[in-house]
Amino acid sequence: MSKKPSAPAESGAAPAVTPTLPSPHAQAPANTALTAEQKIELYRKMVRIRRFEERCLPVYNAGKIGGFLHLYIGQEAVAVGACSLMGKDDHVITAYRDHGHAIAVGMDTKPLMAELYGKVTGCSKGKGGSMHYFAPDLNYWGGHGIVGGQIPLGTGLAYGVKYQGKKGAAMAFMGDGAVNQGAVHEAYNLAALWDLPVLFVIENNRYSMGTSQERSSAGELGKRAEAYDMKWYVCGGHDIYEVRATLDEALRRARDEHKPAVVEIDTYRYRGHSVADPDKTYRDRKEIEDYRNTKDPLQIFQNQLLFEKVLTEALIAEIDAAARAEADRAVEFAEASPFPTAEDIQKDVYWETDQAQRTSEGRIFFNSID
C-alpha cells in the first residue's frame, strides 16, 4: 500500500490493523448522512456479493461455468462503498473482477449467474461471460478483459458527462496490475489536461495474478498521479466507511470542479487471481488467514453496526440466510434456462442489423460454407 501524500516517513511494511470500534470514519459526513436502513443495505449488499461469489465455485468445478472466473471475495467494501455514492449522472466501469460492482450497482443475481452458465437469459445473453457484465441503465459499463483497456473508456464516460453539461463523474476501476499499461498513462494525461471528472480507482489487492506489486511497479501507485499534476488519495479498503469517506470527497471534487484524481485503495482477495490459479507460488497461507481474521470487510462492518445497534445477531443471520438462498435461486434459474441458438451468434454485432430494417445494403456478414 502506498504511503499517503504528505505522511511522515514510515517503514515499508503495511501497518498492522486491529479494527477499532467505532470506526474512525464513522463520523465522516458521507456516513453520518446514512440512515440505519441504508447502513443495513450496505452490509446486506456485501454479504450478497460474498455468498454469490462463494456459490460460483462449486458450479465452476462442476463444469457449468467455462473460461475464467475472477472472484471478488475480500474486496466487497470497495465496490459497495463506491457504488453507494453514485448519483444519477455518475458512471462506473471496471476490469474483469466485475461481479462485485455488478451487484453493487443493483443488477439482479439471476441473470448474472445465467450469464456465467452462458445461457440466453444471462445479462449479456450468454455472449459475454464472467468478465463482461454490463448494465447501461444503471450507469454500469462493464466488465472488461484487457488489463487497462477500460481506462480510456472510463475517461470517455467522464468526457461525455462534461460535454453534455451534466454534473457527474466516472469511476474507472483497475487493479494494481493495470497501472503499468500505456493506455492508463494516456488516460491520466487526457483527464488531467482537460479537467475530466474521472476518478481512477486502483483496487490494490497487492498481486496482479501471481506477481506482487513490489515485483511489478517502480515507485508507488497512487503517487504516479503527481507526474500529471493530478491529485491522489490512498485509503484502506477493508472498512466500508473509509472507502465511502475518501471517495465521497473525491467524487464531489470531480463533479463540482471537473478535477480528476487517482484513488488507491488497499484491499485483498482471499481466492486466487482466477479459479485456475493454484495460489501456491506467490503468497503465504498465513497472509491470507491474517487478512481473513483481522481485516475482513464484512466482519469489520458487522462489528461496527452491532456497536451502533443498527444490526442485531438475528438480523445478521437473516441476511446471511437470505443471501445464500438468493444465490441458490440464481443457480436454479441458470440451470433451467436455455442456451442461445446458432442463429443468435450473429445478433448483437451491429446496432444496424439488430433493428427491424437495415439501412445499409450489401453483405455485412461473411460466413464460410454454412
Partner 1 sequence: MATLTYREAIRAALSEEIERDPNVVILGEEVAQFNGAYKVTEGMLEKYGPKRIVDTPISEAGFIGMGIGASMLGIRPVMELMFWSFYSVAFDQIVNNAANVRYMSGGQIACPIVIRGPANGGTNVGATHSHTPENILAHHPGLKVVVPSNAADAKALMKTAIRDNDPVMFLENTLLYGVPGEVPEGDITLPFGRAAIAREGKDLTIVSYGRSVVHSLAAAEKMKAEKGLDIEVIDLRTIRPLDVDTVLKSVAKTHRVLIVEEQRPFCSVGTMLAATIQEEAFDELDAPILRVGTIDAPAIYAPPVEKQFQLPNPERVIAGILKVMR
Per CB under 8 A, residues contacting partner 1 are 91, 93, 122-128, 132, 134-136, 141-146, 149, 151-157, 159-161, 163-164, 182-183, 186-187, 189-190, 193, 346-352, 354, 359-366, 369
Select 142 or 272, whichever has its Cβ closest to partner 1: 142
Q: How far is the CB of 89 from partner 1 (least distance, A)?
A: 10
Q: How far is the CB of 211 from partner 1 (least distance, A)?
A: 21
Select 9 or 369, whichever has its Cβ closest to partner 1: 369
Q: How far is the CB of 96 from partner 1 (least distance, A)?
A: 11
> d(Cα 220, Cα 240) in Å, to the nearest integer?
23
Q: How far is the CB of 234 from partner 1 (least distance, A)?
A: 24
- What is the three-class DSSP state of 92? strand
Beta-carbon contacts of residue 18 (< 8 Å; ≥ 6 apart): 294
> d(Cα 223, Cα 228) in Å, to the nearest integer?
10
Select 11 or 360, whichever has its Cβ closest to partner 1: 360
Q: How far is the CB of 349 from partner 1 (least distance, A)?
A: 5
Select 128 or 297, whichever has its Cβ closest to partner 1: 128
Select 39 or 91, whichever has its Cβ closest to partner 1: 91
Asked if residue 198 lies in contact with residue 260, where contact means CB atoms within 8 angstroms, the answer is yes
Q: Which residues of 178-216 are buried (b: 16+ CB within 10 A; e: fewer)?
A: bbbbebbbebbebbbeeebbbbbbbbbbbbbeeeebeeb
> d(Cα 143, Cα 221) in Å, to the nearest integer?
22
Asked if residue 39 lies in contact with residue 308, where contact means CB atoms within 8 angstroms, the answer is yes
Select 102 or 243, whichever has its Cβ closest to partner 1: 102
**What DSSP line would sit under 175-243, residue for residue?**
ETTGGGSHHHHHHHHHHHHHT--EEEEEEE-SEETTEEHHHH-SS-SGGGGGGGT-EEEEEESSSHHHH
| Furthest C-alpha separation in the chain | 69
Q: How far is the CB of 350 from partner 1 (least distance, A)?
A: 5
> d(Cα 170, Cα 199) in Å, to the nearest integer?
6
Asked if residue 307 lies in contact with residue 36, where contact means CB atoms within 8 angstroms, the answer is no
DSSP letter (8 states) at residue 276: T
Q: How far is the CB of 251 from partner 1 (least distance, A)?
A: 18
Select 125 or 283, whichever has its Cβ closest to partner 1: 125
